[in-house]
A and B are shown apart, each in its own frame.
Chain A
Amino acid sequence: GQQVMQIPQYQHVQEGEDFTTYCNSSTTLSNIQWYKQRPGGHPVFLIQLVKSGEVKKQKRLTFQFGEAKKNSSLHITATQTTDVGTYFCAGRRSGAGNNRKLIWGLGTSLAVNP
């Protein structure tokens, strides 16, 4: 069953407001990836986090990987209408033999009101 929980499921914000989505795993992850899917499109890779406590930034997007490597977050500062879409986290389990498949969160759909 689903072992990566992602919250919230939906989020509506006014343009200019901040947005955060959280990803929580029941097991330790070797890495976590974030993807964005625009409406009608396909998932597109954003970033991968590997190290415990890692923080990476891409312009207005900040990604964090928890110290225990079981949770992660994506924060968008001052949202724009171009940020609309669904954001997915996907993690790989730690340990041998399980690393080919990603465990996907169900995604957070972001709507931005101009």
Chain B
Amino acid sequence: DAGITQSPRHKVTETGTPVTLRCHQTENHRYMYWYRQDPGHGLRLIHYSYGVKDTDKGEVSDGYSVSRSKTEDFLLTLESATSSQTSVYFCAVGRGEETQYFGPGTRLLVL
């Protein structure tokens, strides 16, 4: 699974608090992605990165920011968590047009 870890794996937080999720990879993939998965919506892309400090928005980027200061780490920040951001968050990595390898996911509950 391309050496991908996500932390934390589970988190409960309160509305209005900032939350940062971390994705770490060990195989030097250029591309990294953050998705959220909700029933009835499948996988929706939040943000992605195509290199260190190079990021772009996905289809559901409002309320989220990302940073990639090192090849191996891609951080997703919820600036002020809302209940609508309760979801399962997946990080994925890839080298280009090839397959994407997914991390184990983070289950986030915003109360």
| Residues of chain A whose beta carbon lies under 8 Å from any beta carbon of chain B | 30-31, 33, 41-45, 48, 88, 90, 92, 99-102, 104-107
Is B43 located at the chain interface by the 8 A CB criterion?
yes
In the complex the two chains form, is B42's CB within 8 Å of A105's CB? yes
Tell me the complex Cα distance, A72–B61, Å.
Answer: 29
Q: Which of A42, A44, A90, A100 has the most CB of B within 10 A?
A: A42
Residue of A nearest to B99 (CB): A45
CB-CB under 8 A from B41, the residues of chain A are 106
17 additional contacts, CB 8 Å, given A90-B43, A99-B97, A101-B58? Answer: A30-B97, A33-B99, A42-B90, A42-B105, A43-B90, A43-B92, A43-B102, A45-B101, A88-B43, A100-B31, A100-B50, A100-B56, A101-B45, A101-B48, A102-B100, A104-B44, A106-B42
| Residues of chain B whose beta carbon lies under 8 Å from any beta carbon of chain A | 1, 31, 40-45, 48, 50, 56, 58, 90, 92, 96-105
In the complex the two chains form, is A42's CB within 8 Å of B40's CB? no
CB-CB under 8 A from B101, the residues of chain A are 45
Residue of B nearest to A44 (CB): B102
In the complex the two chains form, is B48's CB within 8 Å of A100's CB? yes
Tell me the complex Cα distance, A104–B43, Å.
Answer: 7
Q: List, sorted by A's number, 8 A–B pairs whose CB atoms are closer than 8 Å.
A: A31-B97, A44-B1, A100-B48, A100-B50, A101-B45, A104-B44, A106-B40, A106-B42
Residue of B nearest to A86 (CB): B42
